[in-house]
Structure 1
């Protein structure tokens, strides 16, 4: 019995000796232990066993080193009856500062690596010297450093990048009492310098001073992560990087005490206008458009003034929505006005003057555009460009006198021969008409359609203009109707309705045109049309020939 127990004890001792002999071993090595600052070297940690790939904790490197994501490999081999297992981590590492540092031991499962001492120099060798300084450069410049309160300058940043980077960002310049806004999109170009490829990024900022004095403009800052790694490394690392452009001192002057008008400091201001049509005479109801463009150099859109013009009561004015934009260093605003005379006579459309401070010459200047004096003739709808061409014929027909003298011609002359020729031509025409009956019928229908369209009454013309959304033509037809019906009981109601239509069309909120206004206006016109038809019927019945008893 005692011998049996001795055998089991001996076997247990052999087994424990075997397990201790094959316990997993963890080893840490580096590709070099004398390196320069930010020089990348490789750290390798291997364990002769299959372990969880997440078992390695690298956070012990955070204080003194930058490191990348590890490259992990594991495998099992069977050679000559011997099973071999191994797990390996490869990490790209770079020291942050000069000095002596220790890579601490790592615990992997039940095993632990030995610490490693690293010597970090300013540059380990010539190769390290060239690689330790990133190929990144940031420059900034402004178009001027002396300005006035409310004036804007252009600040341009250029970044030359010859490294692989991630999470790159550019922080805008800043300063107390300065308003900074980016202008447009970044511009990127690639270039090759001394055999190396670079990416050049350019960004513009608009900086506006809000107070006087010497203001420190802190330069733009470029930040990101440098992606580092040598050939043969299993991973790369990201080294934080930042570089700031030089600071700049801005000398900001206050508004002069004797300046008059709205404060507009700028190097250049341009004020232009255009009339369409450019005429000196116009008729009542005919529109003329005025387009005014204001351009200010290096100015914010919010600093552009409101252009208020006082027009006489003898015209109606409809303002379109202003258009804003930028062109090179100028910010511009364009406004368009439609002006319609309401009565005959001479009218003067106002001029416009803008005071501004010329920061280049340090003096006050005034930019002007002239007004326009128009001779407004009584409205004649028959000659208005927006009325049908047949209107002239209709108006003239109404003016034909009732008493017409008949002249009797006794000498027939050559008329009989002309009649004979016409008769022969008529016979030929009949023959041709019989062969082309269908085509002639279609042409006749089209001609009748155009003829009836040209004979629109003013009320029909207003209805058609309203349905086709033609406000200027609507105004012209209304003017024709008003001349014929100055004392109509619904004149004021229709005039108000049409002015609401015009205001809705030319207002700054065109999309808010009320359907109720259009419907109400159409109902008034249709009611006028019905009354007109009844009057015409009554007149027609009164003029029917009387058959004597």
Structure 2
């Protein structure tokens, strides 16, 4: 019995030993578990200059959510960028270690002593860190406190007349990595500021360092008299710092402004005549198409050139004014005679080398033959360099308008003119010749009259012998002439505006109602305006074609419904 109990006690010893071993292992791991998930914060330097970038590193010995670090407490005293987050898991000698780390680029924005507060990550917190911010950091060699950005401006004049413009040049030299850059235009009370052209960008190397240079021009126009303060242009953006050697980068705000300038604006001189145009230089040119063969003469019109009725003559006038805004360009108004039709195209503006240019194109179509004088043009302007009024002129043109050339057009049908009891103003008297000797013409006339009578008697006898024969209309066919409506339709389809207008003016429209004539004239005017007018563009010919086809169909219907004379039914048939 005693022996049996010993056996039982021996069988329980291994279980007890296993329990003790398990407890010892757990106790050995308890310090490791207690020391896990500890957070630590460090900085790359704690004495920095204003806007000098340094790095904050926060690490925790555990795998935690990457959004567990709240950086918002830094906003009160620091500028910081987006953190760079990394996680790491490693096994050394059978021991598994985990780590989560945040790297943040930071900078102070003022002089003084600032504290990076404690960060709480899970159940662990970091210790606060004191940062001393100086005006400049002596132990910094890689980051400059002042961004390498330079802003220069220049104007071509400080004294100008009201309504005159000056050219403002601003140049930015950038040696930093820039984000969200913007250039704000100069401004001032009583000044109109407009950007002149596109930005010009180039690269340059200064003292071994590469820079980007951006140049922009502004056109500034004074609209009131007196001393005006011109506030300089401003540059705003963000400089990217900490991208080299740091786990993250941050954007430091940059705000630079050019120096202010004082402008002296003079008023319009007393006694000036005409539209006020102050400028140091004005250029006025013109071109005729087709080119005229004559040369301009002083104080007179050019020698006569020749064109035909309906042939277009194009006049191109170019006006260039230095230091002038587009809104101040004059309206070139010319009074043309009523014997021509003029189509003005929309003016074209451009800017180059301080000059504002305006090009006006006019299409002139003579409607009557004879001598035609086209008007000259003169513009008064104030020379701001000499302080005197000047006048720039363009010669007119004297041309001889010949009747329209019918060799290149389809002949129009002859239409009998309505009688007019009033004598024509420019009618040429008919020359009357008195014949004193009849000669042999009376005998010839008598011979032909006798033959005609004989032929008539033979024809009547043949008709009496064949009473049932029908009149053959094909024996003497009348030569047909082109239908004016068909000519108009062909010209519209061929896209020939001048020919359409000529045919339309020669086409008799007495048989049309007033509403249809109004619609036709409206479409013809729209065609000419789209081809030669200011709002030049594509013209839809469908409406005019539909109206002409309506007239054509009405003519066909009228010809098919012609009835025989009413007296024909009263004549009894022969038989």
Q: TM-score interval w.r.t. the shorter chain?
A: 0.7 to 0.9
**Which residue is equivalent to 1:518?**
544
**Which residue is equivalent to 1:77?**
90
2:531 maps to which of 500, 505, 508:
505
Task: Quote how far apart the aligned CAs of 1:67 are.
Answer: 1.6
**Which residue is equivalent to 2:496?**
470
- Match of 1:87, SS state, is strand
Aligned-partner Cα distance in 2 for 1:503–1:231: 65
Task: Quote how far apart the aligned CAs of 1:273 are.
Answer: 1.5
Aligned-partner Cα distance in 2 for 1:243–1:380: 70
Task: Quote how far apart the aligned CAs of 1:286 are.
Answer: 3.0
**Which residue is equivalent to 1:350?**
375
Task: Quote how far apart the aligned CAs of 1:198 are.
Answer: 0.8
Pairing of 1:30-429 with structure 2 (within 5 A): 30-125=43-138, 127-128=140-141, 131-229=144-242, 231-277=244-290, 278=292, 280-377=305-402, 379-382=403-406, 386-387=408-409
> So what's the TM-score if we normalise by structure 2?
0.70
* TM-aligned CA distance change 1:380 to 1:263, over 3 Å: closer
Greater helix fraction, Structure 1 or Structure 2: 1
Aligned-partner Cα distance in 2 for 1:491–1:317: 29
Asked whether the equivalents of residues 344 and 361 of structure 2 are also in contact (C-alpha less than 8 Å), the reply is: yes
Task: Quote how far apart the aligned CAs of 1:340 are.
Answer: 2.2
CA deviation vs aligned residue, 1:239-272 (integer Å, no higher than 9, x gap):
1112111111121122223222222222222222
Aligned-partner Cα distance in 2 for 1:353–1:265: 16
- Match of 2:330, SS state, is coil
Task: Quote how far apart the aligned CAs of 1:292 are.
Answer: 1.5
- Match of 1:131, SS state, is coil
Aligned-partner Cα distance in 1 for 2:243–2:346: 61
Aligned-partner Cα distance in 1 for 2:314–2:308: 14
Aligned-partner Cα distance in 1 for 2:325–2:556: 57
Aligned-partner Cα distance in 2 for 1:503–1:101: 75
* TM-aligned CA distance change 1:506 to 1:35, over 3 Å: same
Asked whether the equivalents of residues 322 and 335 of structure 1 are also in contact (C-alpha less than 8 Å), the reply is: yes
Aligned-partner Cα distance in 2 for 1:96–1:333: 52
Asked whether the equivalents of residues 142 and 156 of structure 1 are also in contact (C-alpha less than 8 Å), the reply is: yes
* TM-aligned CA distance change 1:468 to 1:322, over 3 Å: farther
* TM-aligned CA distance change 1:501 to 1:166, over 3 Å: closer
Aligned-partner Cα distance in 1 for 2:326–2:551: 44
Asked whether the equivalents of residues 466 and 522 of structure 1 are also in contact (C-alpha less than 8 Å), the reply is: no
Asked whether the equivalents of residues 344 and 533 of structure 2 are also in contact (C-alpha less than 8 Å), the reply is: yes
CA deviation vs aligned residue, 1:330-376 (integer Å, no higher than 9, x gap):
22222222222222332321112222222222222222112222233
2:42 maps to which of 29, 34, 38:
29
**Which residue is equivalent to 1:446?**
none
* TM-aligned CA distance change 1:314 to 1:457, over 3 Å: same
Aligned-partner Cα distance in 2 for 1:23–1:285: 100
CA deviation vs aligned residue, 1:36-91 (integer Å, no higher than 9, x gap):
22222221112222222211111222222222211222223333343322222111
Q: Which has the higher mean CA deviation after the structures are superposed, 301-310 or 510-519?
A: 510-519
Pairing of 1:437-476 with structure 2 (within 5 A): 461-476=487-502
- Match of 2:163, SS state, is coil
Aligned-partner Cα distance in 1 for 2:152–2:200: 15
Task: Quote how far apart the aligned CAs of 1:307 are.
Answer: 1.6
* TM-aligned CA distance change 1:168 to 1:466, over 3 Å: same
Aligned-partner Cα distance in 2 for 1:60–1:197: 38
- Match of 1:170, SS state, is strand
Aligned-partner Cα distance in 1 for 2:234–2:314: 50
Unaligned runs of 5+ in 1: 1-6, 392-404, 406-454, 535-549
Unaligned runs of 5+ in 2: 1-19, 293-303, 412-440, 442-480, 561-575
Between structure 1 and structure 2, the one with the greater Rg is: 2
Asked whether the equivalents of residues 492 and 545 of structure 2 are also in contact (C-alpha less than 8 Å), the reply is: no
Task: Quote how far apart the aligned CAs of 1:196 are.
Answer: 1.0
CA RMSD of aligned residues (A): 3.6
* TM-aligned CA distance change 1:103 to 1:188, over 3 Å: same
Aligned-partner Cα distance in 2 for 1:327–1:231: 43
> So what's the TM-score if we normalise by structure 1?
0.73
Task: Quote how far apart the aligned CAs of 1:159 are.
Answer: 0.8
Task: Quote how far apart the aligned CAs of 1:296 are.
Answer: 1.8
- Match of 1:153, SS state, is strand
